[in-house]
Structure 1
């Protein structure tokens, strides 16, 4: 029995923190809800440090392996006579590390806190009951060892089915909007494929190496290790102060998605009945990301990490991102008990892709809030790459990283709110000083042009651009009042059109209206669909700036 427990300690996960449950006291006898960091003893602490350094060196050598191999080749180390001693040396190192791991297991075996934890973990894996899961939630440990909480897909020999909603899925997962292919003859198509084969190969290599890491730096292991103390502190706050519940979901592609749910329905507040699903940025994690904004507003909140971020597995390509978003929504509906009409999707920055995909795929969702997001990735990618790379960048983005937020938002009929950072330095194409180069402007214009094409004529676009170009709230108000916009009249016109027709977008309202009337409606709609926030891209959004989108 003791040997079996020691083996469990050897193979067990790294324990980071113990979250105190309401009926649990602190080891030092003090009161309070806060938990405490797990304290390994001498042997476990030193052996864990050795294994941590070995892991860091492995990560560093992995990312620098191309340069390292070139250096070894030039020095003549890559030959049969020298590979044998090197392999023997590597084998010796692995045996030593295995011995260190066994010693660490012995140190854990001598620690009562770890033995209690590993016992609860094994019990939960065997009997996945609410009582055992409640005990396990008192511990923060490597998420790869966390038991599965929700799987919404099943495989057959030919295809996949979502057995909770009976929606058929392709083998690759949920459906995405794809770039429209150019029509070519058979001979032209074959010749074109041969000519563009090198470009396809280079694009594939770029997308799967530095391209993906540039787009999603939060997926880089070294960055996550550097941020680990901050992430652990943020997760402890969500669990201990907000009674957050961590869950592991499995998407249709097999990736495990790390989520955190805070339930406010029992608090009695009106906002608590609404669930806000948060989609983080390219270096954001739910532990320290945009979850705090709706939490401060009293909403129920569900946060999740991109594939490859935090405890989530996989890599954050668009298909994997959409698959992850899909299982998060399914979990919210079928496990947490929210209806789609009670869900608000809130996204920051690059999270706008999964948010816009969600409302496109689930049109019954209550509303969409996009903060500091953009219409399309391609203009931003072209901004940071040399002009000579333009054809290659276009091909790479469209084939592997096609984050077409605007095209997806146009498929949604519900309320939308865009929040524009007036000093945004990330999603501008020329710099934060040029507010008209903010790609949020393009997202707003595309949305208004689709929904209200008779209002957003050339003159309507011109006055909205003038409003968007205002350098201060005072100038913005001056533009608005300069066209003598009558808000009550605008609302009455739109309500009258909606009552008479009850049609989906696009609307033909404004086709028989004067030029002055169309100007007023264009500015009125622009101010309803977009709000300015005087801040840079990465400034946390205060709860007071988080509003439900405008409804007619």
Structure 2
């Protein structure tokens, strides 16, 4: 098919090699994924390690790549330390015209040298038939873009910036089209004006707001989302490449680039189990990672090993995704992921489960609020407020900076969007969580109080708090049995209400006795929250992954 296009000039391959992306790996064709439920490999030849197929650059390309990678790391360190460096140079009197001009000449010389190294790397690539074959397929994918060419391109793992866009936010008839033209997908809370919040008060708060904004958009965001820091990504790159190879070669994973409405490119991976013998393959689990998680090494393996179809994606600024993980960008990314799952992959909303770990609870609850027809929502080790977490790692003397910490908070608390969703919800609480000491507690209380306000009045809320404060599984069971919870009675009450009102929430039944409220509150708490005896960062085993309870 490419023969209908005129041949490229002789200089074109060399120029393409100079400007082309870095090639990391050439995948082996592993055939259909055959992997047992417990994760053991069953594919033929898996023991011989033949899938370890890193691209082998020639000597010239290898050494030039090392020099450019070192220069990139030095530049990154210089960027992060530039405020301190500028302050030091200023104190020493080096920021004068007579000393800055020679430094600019030195910097220009270094740039020319690096450009020369890049050209040498291109020559090294030009002499490598493997890279020539790759760059030809890449150019054809941008020029022609047929499924056959894209299938060939999927056999390579390279710098994702050069990957062609596979799906755009506006390809389908989206209800968010008007939002993308200037209206935010995140609706800010209305600000109520009062005498105390007048013009003079705003002027007084302006310096603090400016300082908070600078903190939030510099080191604050990077501390909150360390996965967006280039140096960390550089350190974990071997693990990311290994994780991608596992998903592609063992599970026939399909890597894809999604274009969000803000122009950010989102790196995503899809594993299709619909045609397999897995009993849960018809369900799609969309995974939302934590603040230092990537789909390659994050929470995605949990539903994957449980037999579900999975769709993982990286936050803006993480690995192959562009942009920065600010609230609006996060919502835009989640929206295009949902659009891709529905309109390109062909999953119905009622066949989609959104699963999130830690800070991924923001995008997960946003998706549940914006796509209320999804099948279920699972939040693992999530939380409802960043301030206690931030203050926990700050010295006591810094508590006065609490307002600034709140500005750094990357998202509105999950409860408003979580409570808007009326579908099945499961909260997973880590009993040994060393980072978030109240994981799941406040989320559960707010969820139950919204859905079952009559049940959670007075006695109901009190017994649920007592149950949450139990220090062990034995003590939890003791609290549960002490109130003699009759599960059959609780189910009959909920079923009768569902039959009368069609299951609409919140449940407003107010004809229950105090004893009935206590029983029903404990029954509902146990159905909506499960404990996992582990620390915050311990991967959730696939045996502990389950869909939420619903009538």
Q: TM-score by structure 2 length?
A: 0.92
- Work out whether residues 22 and 33 of structure 1, in 8 Å CA contact, stay in contact via their aligned partners in 2: no
Aligned length: 528
Output the CA distance in 2 between the equivalents of 1:368 and 1:481.
28
Q: Which of 101, 113, 118 is the matching residue for 1:101? A: 118
Distance 1:36 1:394, change over 3 A: same
Contact preservation (8 Å) 1:173, 1:252: no
Answer yes or no: is 1:381 the counterpart of 2:390.
yes
Aligned-residue offset at 1:548: 0.7
SS of the residue 2:420 aligns to: coil
Aligned counterpart for 2:206 among listed residues 197, 204, 209: 197
User: Paired residue for 1:86?
Assistant: 103
Structure 1 stretch displaced more, 128-137 or 476-485? 476-485
Larger RCO (CA within 8 A; separation ≥ 6): 2
Match of 1:538 in 2: 537
Partner Cα distance (1:174, 1:252) in 2: 10
Q: Which runs of 5+ in 1 are unaligned?
A: 24-29, 155-161, 429-437
Deviation at 1:396, TM superposition (A): 5.3
Matches of 2:50 and 2:135 in 1, distance apart?
A: 23
Partners of 1:289 and 1:188 in 2: CA distance: 44
Q: How far did residue 35 of structure 1 move?
A: 4.9
Equivalent residue, structure 2, for 1:452: 452
Please state how far the C-alpha of 1:4 moved relative to its aligned partner. 1.3
2:25 aligns to what?
17
Aligned counterparts of 2:250 and 2:489: Cα–Cα separation in 1: 47
Residues 240 and 297, structure 2, Cα contact 8 Å, conserved in 1? yes
Q: Which residue pairs with 1:245 in the alignment?
A: 254
Q: Deviations over 1:447-473 (max 9, x none)?
A: 001111111012111111111122222
Between stretches 85-94 and 57-66, larger displacement belongs to: 85-94
User: TM-score, normalization: structure 1?
Assistant: 0.92
Task: Go from structure 1 to structure 2 and tell me whether the alpha carbon gap of 1:195 and 1:166 turns closer, same or farther (over 3 Å shift).
Answer: closer
Distance 2:154 2:220 in 1: 37
SS of structure 2 residue aligned to 1:394: helix
With over 3 angstroms needed to count, the CA separation of the structure-2 counterparts of 1:398 and 1:103, relative to structure 1, is closer
3-state SS in 2 of match to 1:246: strand
- What is the deviation of 1:515? 1.2
Check the 8 A contact 1:153/1:163 in 2, yes or no.
Answer: yes
Question: CA-atom RMSD, angstroms?
Answer: 1.9
Partner of 1:525: 524
Instruction: Quote the Cα distance in structure 2 between the aligned partners of 1:486 and 1:218.
Output: 47
Cα separation, 1, equivalents of 2:315 and 2:159: 17
1:329-408 alignment runs, 5 A limit: 329-386=338-395, 390=399, 392-394=401-403, 397=406, 401-408=410-417
C-alpha change, 1:165 and 1:129, in structure 2 (3 Å) is farther
Q: How far is the alpha carbon of 1:310 from its aligned partner?
A: 0.6
Which residue is equivalent to 2:38?
Answer: none
The match for 1:431 is: none
Residue of structure 2 in register with 1:158 after alignment? none
Cα separation, 2, equivalents of 1:394 and 1:241 = 48
Q: Deviations over 1:169-195 (max 9, x none)?
A: 15456532434423314x952112111
The reply to whether residue 169 of structure 1 matches residue 179 of structure 2 is yes
Residue deviations 1:242-287, cap 9 Å, x none? 0000000011111000000000001043311110000000000000
Question: 1:80 Cα deviation (Å)?
Answer: 1.0
Q: After the TM superposition, which parts of structure 1 deviate over 6 Å for at least 4 consecutive aligned residues?
A: 30-33
Please tell me whether residue 489 in structure 1 is matched to residue 489 in structure 2: yes
Give the gaps of 5 or more residues in structure 2. 1-8, 32-46
- 1:199 Cα offset (Å): 1.4
2:314 corresponds to 1:305? yes
Instruction: Please list, as runs of the form range in 1=range in 2, the aligned pairs for 1:170-249 lying within 5 A after superposition.
Output: 170-172=180-182, 174-185=184-195, 188-249=197-258
1:78 and 1:518 mapped to 2: Cα distance?
A: 72
Greater Cα shift, 466-475 or 136-145: 466-475
